[in-house]
Each structure stands twice: as structure tokens, then as C-alpha cells.
Copies of this chain bind each other. A is one copy, B any other.
Amino acid sequence: MKQDFPNLQNDAIIKAAKGEKVDRIPVWAMRQAGRYLPEFKEVRAKHDFFTVCRTPELACEVTLQPLKRFDLDAAIIFSDILVIPQALGMEVQMVPGKGPTFPEPLQTPKDISKLNHKPDVHKELGYVFDALTLTRKTLNGKVPLIGFSGAPWTLMAYMVEGGSSSTFSKPRSWLYKHSEESKELLNILTGTIIKYLVGQVVAGAQLLQLFESHAGVLNQEMFNKYSLPYLKRIVDEVKKNLIEADIEPVPMIVFAKDAYYAIEDLAQTKYDVIGLDWTVDPVQAREIAKKYGKSLQGNFDPANLYDTQENIEGAVKKMIDKFGTKSYIANLGHGMYPDMSPDHLKAFIDAVHNYPVGDT
């Protein structure tokens, strides 16, 4: 099923993802729709977090809010990585000041049997697809719309830990104590994520980003065993399934936060873009990315947005000097924090666009 969408007017981010020439460096910001915007807080004052996710009109509204303020090169659908555990039958609550909380986390591998192993993504996550379609149409071709999903390890980490953690010692203990059952869980998640992402593209997503937000608590060996193979399977199968459905595959971005050691392994997968957090040296990452013909995304320290607007401009220039202008999507190294100033994000975005791209 192909939908008829308005023509795209600004395809800089798609071109950068494919390594093609751009007229200016494309830029977006993780969590660009969110609590740092007063207009977002107004919506949240009336509706709880998951109601916004589940109501296409509201999700569309908050997705487009930052585009009204800033000259962004992409929209990212407002949603949450934990909609997948919800689709598998788990309850997730957003507890103020504490973040996402699972009242009944997976306590033993036996609890895996309680999950809905093969959820109908159209039934359980159709609201995301509807939000994507509505937003894509409302965008009217202004900029591309990004869809996303949490990666299997990151979702497993939340489902077993029951919420955020500085160590994620419970899910890490599963990898050693219950290796086979962990793989079973990761496979269940992977299968659902693949269907979810294919559905997102059909619904209107023009790029996809995978968030492996908790990669950093894994050592290299565990990352190679419990994260990388699933990330690979997702990009392989999403692209294959789209081709088989006669739909052009969209560029895919992988962001494995704090897994600095995995950049070369990720560059050897079919992901088009490697997202980087702010601890990574752009020069070293670019060397690796070049070898494998990959694009890079990142990696401005979000905390640097607390600086003066003048200093932000200088820091953006230094960052792009290191990344170069080719095969590059400017972004933060992680999401916006709630107490940040919209004006400072604007300074970041404008500084990226003011960087001359030359003829390279």
C-alpha cells in the first residue's frame, strides 16, 4: 500500500544520509519536541504523556511545534521508545521526576511467557502510524519526517530493570545468568521492531533512527553478542521487507550511546548514518566512517546549549571543522534537557546553517 504524499521541498537530510552534495548542512535535535518548549508544556498540562503519543492530532501538533520556531531540516514524530514494551503487553507509567516506570517488570525469564510475542503492530501501534501519516500530510513536504524505535537491548534493559538505572545491573545479570532466555527476549523485540519500522515507512516516515540508549553499560564482548546482531538484523530485514513490498528503503540512522568502541562495527552494517554522543572525537569517527562510506550524525554536547549564544556559535563552528561538511547531519549528542532555552537551540541551528559548505 503506497500513499500519496506531497512533494518534498527540503531533502538535505536525506542527501546527507546518502553522502550526496548539500547546499547547507542539515540539522535537527534529539527531543526537539519536548518540555523545554512552553507550548509543549501547555499541551502536557492538559494531557498525560502517553495520551499525547496515542492521539494522532496531539502527537502531530507537538511534532510540528519546534518547526514553527526553528529552521529545522527534519521533524521527528513525537512518541516514545517504550511503546514497544506496551505493545508486548507491559504497563509503563511516566512518573514525574523519576521517568518511565514499569509497575511489573520482568522479574524472571518465566515472565517472558506473559508477553504478547507477536503483537499485531497495526492493532497495537496503529496510533503511531496514524500520527506519522497525519504529520507527513500536515508537513506538506516542508521537511522529511523521521520515525524511530528503541533497539532491542535498550528495551530489554528497561523491561527487566523496571525503569532507569545508573547500572542496569538486573538486565546485565540476565545476559550472564539467562543467556538463552535473553536472546529469546531480544528476538521477540527484534521481530516486533522490524514490523513496526516497516509500518512506519508505509505510514510516511522518510528516515528511521534506532536508539540503543543503554549501549554504554555493556562491555564490548556483550555488545557484540547482545546488541550488534539484533541491530544488524533490523536494518537488513527492514530494508529487505521494504524492497519486497516495492517501497524504496529509507535511510537508517543507528545511535548507540556511549558505545564509542562499536563505531567501526556499526560502520560495517547497512545503516546509512552513525549517530555519535558528545564524548566521541569527530575526527576519529570520520576516519572510520569514510572507510565504509557512511555518514555521521551528532554530536554537540547538549550542556553546551547552556552557554551564551555567541559561544554556541563558536563551538558549532569548531565541531563542524572536525566533522567536515560532507555526509554529515548536525545534531546534539543526546536529547534536549527540560530547563534549556529555546533561543539557545535556535543559535545552534542557525550556526549550523551559517557554516559554509563550499563545493565539496
Query: Cβ of A172 and Cβ of B306 under 8 Å apart?
Result: yes
Query: Cβ of B303 and Cβ of A172 under 8 Å apart?
Result: yes
Does chain B have a CB within 8 A of A220?
A: yes
Does chain B have a CB within 8 A of A95?
A: no
- Interface code A84-109, partner B: CB below 8 Å = 1, 0 otherwise? 00000000000000000000000000
Query: Cβ of B306 and Cβ of A337 under 8 Å apart?
Result: no
Q: How far is the CA of A164 from the CA of B219 in the complex (A)?
A: 22
Does chain B have a CB within 8 A of A130?
A: no
Q: How far is the CB of A42 from chain B (nearest CB, A)?
A: 23
Q: How far is the CA of A172 from the CA of B216 in the complex (A)?
A: 19
Partner of A216, one of B175, B258, B281, B311: B258
Q: Which A242-287 residues have C-beta < 8 A from chain B?
A: 258, 260-261, 278-279, 281
Does chain B have a CB within 8 A of A173?
A: yes
Query: Cβ of A173 and Cβ of B260 under 8 Å apart?
Result: no
Q: How far is the CB of A140 from chain B (nearest CB, A)?
A: 35
Instruction: Give the A interface residue count (CB, 8 A).
Output: 31
Q: Which A153-210 residues have C-beta < 8 A from chain B?
A: 164, 166-167, 169, 172-173, 175-177
Copies of this protein, total? 2
In this complex, what residue of B is CB-closest to A338? B169
CB neighbours of A175 from chain B (8 A): 303
Q: Which of A177, A302, A306, A339 is most buried by chain B, counting CB atoms within 10 A of its CB?
A: A306
Q: How far is the CA of A222 from the CA of B315 in the complex (A)?
A: 12
Q: How far is the CA of A120 from the CA of B310 in the complex (A)?
A: 42
Query: Cβ of A169 and Cβ of B303 under 8 Å apart?
Result: yes
Query: Cβ of B303 and Cβ of A176 under 8 Å apart?
Result: yes
CB neighbours of A304 from chain B (8 A): 176, 219
Given contacts A258-B258, A303-B169, A303-B175, contact A279 B337 (CB under 8 A): no
Does chain B have a CB within 8 A of A343?
A: no
Partner of A306, one of B177, B216, B260, B334: B177
Kindly list the 3 A-B residue pairs having the minimum CB-CB distance in the complex, ordered from nearest.
Answer: A172-B303, A173-B306, A176-B307
Q: A169-B303, A219-B304 are in contact. List 4 more A-B contacts (CB 8 A).
A: A172-B306, A219-B278, A220-B279, A261-B279
Query: What are 20 A-B residue pairs whose CB atoms fall within 8 Å in the complex?
Result: A164-B166, A167-B302, A167-B334, A167-B337, A169-B303, A169-B337, A172-B301, A172-B306, A173-B303, A173-B339, A176-B306, A176-B311, A216-B258, A218-B279, A219-B278, A220-B279, A258-B258, A260-B260, A260-B261, A260-B279
